Structures are given as structure tokens and as C-alpha cells.
Amino acid sequence: MTLTAPPRLLLVHAHPDDESLWTGGTIARYAASGVHVTVVTCTLGEEGEIIPPALQQLAADAADQLGGYRVAELRAACTALGVTDHRFLGGIGRWRDSGMAGVAANDHPRAFANGSFDEQVAQLSEIIAAVKPQVVVTYDDFGGYGHPDHIQAHRITTAAAADVDRVFHAVTSRAATEAGVAALAEMADLPWRLPAEGELPVTDDAAITTTIDISDHLVAKLRALRAHSTQVSVWQDGTGGASYALSNGIAQPVVQAEYYVLAKGPAEGAETDLFGGLD
């Protein structure tokens, strides 16, 4: 990094767990190097499917306490990643998890994906004006995998980050994912099924502009994923093999890098460092 001002990284995520799943290694790496890292979460993840049987009654159609429970999971994940500046868009509880496209939760009056675009942009703009990040990270225009809240996070971030030096979209690499799945196929005791061809969302490597090596921060990323135990199960075999699964029980690889597509700002210097070449 060649920045003269203190480097500041701001990431906009839809639900608790996305910061760890999509960008956990990147957050840990930059936080460890002294970068001021701000994580903005847009909802409490109230509509998530719950993995542990003992916690099923937290669900939206039962006690409807999952959102509050996930706040604690998120706090633990932020601690694992070294994040000291976490914020909820519009304040805690303003926007609700909209659920996947087509479910009843889409119509909730606080559903994030159908909320006031102008209000949400104003809320994020206020945070960006206060933090003054040089680099902002969110999802691509498909929200990474099509979730309405992820798409909305992309839309409001694109509008609110107009004056930021660089905006990146977090993606997953086709080549790294395929290599990771091939490695999982060799692991004897993997507790989940392998993904079918095309089942995991990936981006062609030719479109990826930026690769962040997180190999020194995998322990932090895995610890953060474990903190989200209502949503994520983590498996480690004791010899370095690791995988995680969401409630669908599909094994996903833990790869050595996180991948980004530069959406705004200068490309020069951005190949392996979100701040590279900025001054």
C-alpha cells in the first residue's frame, strides 16, 4: 500500500454470516495489518434456516428470535476477524431479511429488498461520509447468488459509493472452487455431499481482477464461520483439510484466496491488494 491517509475498508453485507463467508479472510488480513475495517450489515438474517435442532424454535414462524440470536453470532465473528467497527444499516432492526425470492417474508413492511431505496442509500451514504473509506466491497449485480437482499445491497452500495476511490464485488473463483471441490473428494470423512457440477455460484477467472491471498488468515476465517453456527457448519480433519456447509448440506471448499471484480476505480496495482496503487 502506498496510501498517505490511513487506509479504510468498508464492506456492505446483506445478512450476518455473509461477511465471513464472502470476505472473512480479506477482513482478517486487512484488520491484522492495521487497516480500519468497517462492516455494515443490512439485516439481522431473521429468515435464515437453522441448522442445530436445539435452536429450531428461534425461527421466524416460531419464536421469531433468530435475528437477535444472530446479532450475537455476528459479534463473535467480528471479534474473530478483528473488526471493531460494525454497524447495521439504519440502526439495528431497521431492515428485515426478505427471504429468498417468492416467499411471504418479501412482503414484510420492513423487508430490506422492498424498502425505500432512497432511505437506504441515504443511510449508507451517511456511514460512508463518516468513515471515508478509500475502498468499498459489496456483491455483483446478481448479489453473488441471486438473493434479493444481496441484490439490494449491491444496488444501494453502487449508488452510495459514487465518490469512493475503488468499489469491488466479492465473487468466487471457478478454478479455485473446482480445485477445492476436487480436494474435498479425496477426503475420507467429509460429513456432507459434494456439490454437483454448477451447483455452487462461481465467476469465470478471466473476469476476476483481484486475488487476495488469505492463507495466513484461514484460522480466523474458520473461527468466524464457526461463530455463525445457526447457519454454517465447519468441518476440519486435523490434517489441514477443511470444509463448511450451509443448511443445504452441500460441502464447500475453504480456499486460500478471496476473489474480487473491480467495479469502479483504477485497475493499476489492484491485482493482489485492494488498496494497491492508491495514493
Site string for Zn ion, 214-243 (x = CB under 5 A): ------------------------------
For residue 154, the minimal CB distance to Zn ion (Å) is 12
Q: Is the Cβ–Cβ distance between 166 and 274 less than 8 Å? A: yes
CA–CA gap between residue 260 and residue 16 (Å, rounded): 20
Of 35 and 81, CB closest to Zn ion = 81
Site string for Zn ion, 63-92 (x = CB under 5 A): ------------------------------
Of 15 and 223, CB closest to Zn ion = 15
Does residue 154 bind Zn ion (CB under 5 A)?
Answer: no
Of 95 and 275, CB closest to Zn ion = 95
For residue 115, the minimal CB distance to Zn ion (Å) is 16
For residue 271, the minimal CB distance to Zn ion (Å) is 27
For residue 12, the minimal CB distance to Zn ion (Å) is 12
Q: DSSP 3-state assignment of 250?
A: strand
C-alpha closest to that of 26 among 127, 132, 136: 136
For residue 201, the minimal CB distance to Zn ion (Å) is 12
CA–CA gap between residue 18 and residue 21 (Å, rounded): 5
Residue 226's φ and ψ, nearest 5 degrees, are -65, -30
Of 46 and 273, CB closest to Zn ion = 46
The C-alpha cell of 167 is what?
A: 468499489
Q: Is 150 annotated as a binding residue?
A: yes
Q: How many residues are there in the chain?
A: 279
List residues bridging with 203 in a β-sheet: 173
Q: DSSP 3-state assignment of 174?
A: helix
Q: Is 15 annotated as a binding residue?
A: yes
Q: Tell me, by CB under 5 A, how many residues bind Zn ion.
A: 3
Site string for Zn ion, 1-20 (x = CB under 5 A): -------------xx--x--
Q: DSSP 3-state assignment of 4?
A: coil
What SS3 string covers 93-139? CCCECCCCCCCHHHHCCCEHHHCCHHHHHHHHHHHHHHHCCCEEEEC
Q: Which amino acid is at 31?
A: A
Binding to Zn ion in span 15-44, by CB under 5 A = 15, 18
Radius of gyration of the chain (CA): 18
For residue 15, the minimal CB distance to Zn ion (Å) is 4
Of 41 and 134, CB closest to Zn ion = 41
Q: Which residue is nearest to Zn ion (CB)?
A: 15
Whole-angstrom CA distances from 102 to 61, 99, 105, 196, 251 are 16, 8, 8, 24, 26
For residue 33, the minimal CB distance to Zn ion (Å) is 26
CA–CA gap between residue 100 and residue 98 (Å, rounded): 7
Of 29 and 150, CB closest to Zn ion = 150
Of 18 and 140, CB closest to Zn ion = 18
Residues that bind Zn ion (CB under 5 A): 14-15, 18
Positions at the binding site for Zn(2+): 15, 18, 150
